[in-house]
Amino acid sequence: MAETVAGAGKRTVQVLDTEEDLAVALAKYTADLSAKFVKERGAFTVVLSGGYLIDCLRKLVEPPYADSVEWSKWRVFWVDERVVPKDHVDSNYKLAYDGFLSKVPILPGNVYAINDALSAEGAADDYETCIKQLVKSNVVALSTSTGFPKFDLMLLGMGPDGHVASLFPGHPLVKEKERWVTFIEDSPKPPPQRITFTFPVINSSAFIAMVVAGPGEVDAVHTALGNSQSPNTLPVQMVLPEEELAWFLDKQAASKL
Ligand SMILES: O=C1O[C@H](COP(=O)(O)O)[C@@H](O)[C@H](O)[C@H]1O
């Protein structure tokens, strides 16, 4: 199903029979976009989230997808990170390393993790400075329409409350308009200290895959994609990238649609 959303790129929704089918569809989507961007600009900038998304990337590290991807062209970033050491069980870097990065030949120098020796505020400043330098050197594109960095693909998950990245319902950070990267010290989901890309950065990306499986997010999926009359806008409803928002759902996640 594809439709155009006013003021933004198109939105597509795929409902896959099983979570296994979802992982295959996501691997194909990511591999196809990797080939497109490597051909067009010689690099592919990919932003990961934490949580369940990493498990859904398991088919990408297997043939035929793993063999077709030019891993040396990948540059990897995080949409959000918890302010904990990189080897901590809550670290999004550790989750991605164990479940994905350690299984493919991405160059270690092309993996942009946060500096885990800094405070939340310091780590957010440091990550923003790093991305500004990569924009200057043309590794990360700049959106001509917004002036914010334009990543090629963000692979996002969503929490049961409709949060994306570390942007939670009702939190003032969802309204941030200036910063590229900001920090939160009172995250309602532990751990409390995190850094996160802001909505202007998320929505300046070219493509976003929104990946949701299982029963936990059924109501938030219904609010985002169904005809639910919820009075409060969920963070996930604010996601509108420049070219395409592609939802990947399994049947359970889509059961109220
Ligand atoms: O805390 C976080 O939660 C979201 C959603 O996680 P999920 O396990 O419900 O898929 C995740 O996207 C984010 O990166 C993470 O820090």
| pLDDT band of 8, cuts 50, 70, 90 | low
For 83-104, what is the mean pLDDT?
Answer: 98
Which atom from ligand 1 is nearest to the alpha carbon of 216?
9
Which atom from ligand 1 is nearest to the alpha carbon of 48?
14
Burial of 19 (0-12, 13-18, 19+ CB in 10 A): middle
Please state, in angstroms and as integers, the Cα–Cα distance from residue 167 to each residue in 50, 84, 107, 126, 181, following that order. Answer: 13, 18, 29, 19, 11
- The distance from CA 22 to its chain's CA centroid, rounded to whole angstroms, is 16
Residue for token pair 């532990």: 190
Cα 157 to averaged position of ligand 1 atoms, centre (Å): 6
| Ordered structural domains, the chain, with CATH | 10-250 (3.40.50.1360)
Cα 39 to averaged position of ligand 1 atoms, centre (Å): 31
Which residue among 158, 181, 187, 210 has the greatest number of ligand 1 atoms within 8 angstroms of its CB, and so is best to mutate?
A: 158
Q: What is d(CA 57, CA 22) in angstroms, rounded to the nearest whole number?
A: 10
Higher-pLDDT residue of 228, 104 = 104
Query: Residue 231: pLDDT above 90?
Result: no
Q: What is d(CA 109, CA 249) in angstroms, rounded to the nearest whole number?
A: 33
For 122-135, what is the mean pLDDT?
Answer: 98
Give residues (CB < 6 A) around ligand 1. 49-53, 80, 92, 156-159, 165-166, 189
Give the helix, strand, coil percentages of the chain, each rounded to 5. Answer: 35, 20, 45
Query: Residue 2: pLDDT above 50?
Result: no
Please state, in angstroms and as integers, the Cα–Cα distance from residue 252 to each residue in 72, 187, 237, following that order. Answer: 36, 27, 20
pLDDT at position 1, please?
Answer: 53
Cα 82 to averaged position of ligand 1 atoms, centre (Å): 10
pLDDT tens digits for range 158-173:
999 999 999 999 999 9
| pLDDT band of 115, cuts 50, 70, 90 | very high
pLDDT at position 227, please?
Answer: 72
How does the average pLDDT of the chain come out, rounded? Answer: 95
Name the pairing type of β-strands 194-197 and 181-184.
antiparallel
Question: Which amino acid residue places its CA nearest to atom 12 of ligand 1?
Answer: 157
Cα 4 to averaged position of ligand 1 atoms, centre (Å): 27
For 149-156, what is the mean pLDDT?
Answer: 98
pLDDT at position 192, please?
Answer: 97
Cα 150 to averaged position of ligand 1 atoms, centre (Å): 22
Which atom from ligand 1 is nearest to the alpha carbon of 53?
10
ipTM of the shown complex: 0.97
Cα 66 to averaged position of ligand 1 atoms, centre (Å): 24
DSSP, residue by residue, 146-215: TSSEE-SEEEE---TTS-BTTB-TT-GGGG--S-SEEEES--SSSSS-EEEE-HHHHHHSSEEEEEE-SS
